[in-house]
Chains A and B, each alone.
Chain A
Amino acid sequence: MRRALSLTVVIVTALLLQTTVFADVKLLGVRPELMYLVTIVFAMLEGPSSGAVAGFAGGMAQDFLLDAPKGITALTLTLVGYAVGSLRQYIVSPSPLLPTFLVGGGTFVGVLFNRFVAFLLGQEATSVLYVFKAAALSALYNAILTPLLHPVLRRVAESSRSRRVIRW
């Protein structure tokens, strides 16, 4: 219950920031993709299941504000959350830069996948060049924001974590 509530707060906050503050603060004309960042960070901290759930919920929330066929972002972020969560279990690097790289890479691949699905569903596309540029820049932007937002999201995740028994 507490987890659902904190996830909702995080998602609504991310949406508000995405449509207001980051509409003004762009990196070479491109906004970050905060929902991708949130999903990937949650997946890293909490594993594939929570990553998929966070991605699905965040994606759905974002989709209902879009004019595109609803569900595309939810599909993308569910897969991104699961993939990053699973991948994380095989990485033992203690590098503090790991979140940054995972967020950057995950966002880039995720945005490209999202545009591909949207293209298959007949959404008018801009040039392929723009899609790659926007994917790369929003990935870079997300990577830059990660060191700032990662500690905040980790706090949220840890405070809402139920004291479950870990069965190995």
Chain B
Amino acid sequence: MIKLQNIEKSYRHGLSQTFVLRRVSAEIKSGDFVSIMGPSGAGKSTLLHILGMHDSAWTGEYWLYEDPIHQLSAKDRMRLQKQHIGFVFQSYHLLDNLTVYENIDLPLSYRDVKKAEREGMVADILDRFNIVGKKDLFPNQLSGGQQQLVAIARAVVAKPTLILADEPTGNLHSDQGKEIMELFRRLNEGGTTIVQVTHSKENASYSKRVINLKDGWIVDEI
């Protein structure tokens, strides 16, 4: 599904150059559940954003299915991103002005899904995540765990084949974190590929594979 070949990212500061990622090569198969771990500043989030196509200033080769992302225009990358990827953030990043329903509806509206179809898809997700009763609430009326639940619902509503999660339980207490990880496991069992960045070994235990990064290098893969 994903093939990375010598991915590098760096920043220039005058004459010097700081590398964030060095010659990162990896392969992720469909149905995989991968955790990216490592100390702060290791380049975990950067790698995740490259996978999510939020970052385009890097070198190397990135293949998603048969598509060479490194060769595509911004427009084509956006198209593929919409088609395949859902994103979950550590800080949930729900939009404060939108209700639960509207937050979940948002990715569908950006994919030009017809209104009637969207209504059906959002209703289905609300039901699956058991948050129908909360659909008209605003994010600030929800607990942290409920907000992350909504964020995951928003990430999966467009039926992505790949979910990228950046420390999805970082802001939650352990019970809530466990609940979210169980949810990821169920999604993975349903066939969705999941890549998460985490500091937590407990969370990493849910994954099938762990990639360890340090100073931008992959130091090992378990």
Q: Do A and B form a real pair? A: no
Chain B residues with CB under 8 Å of chain A are none
Chain A residues with CB under 8 Å of chain B are none
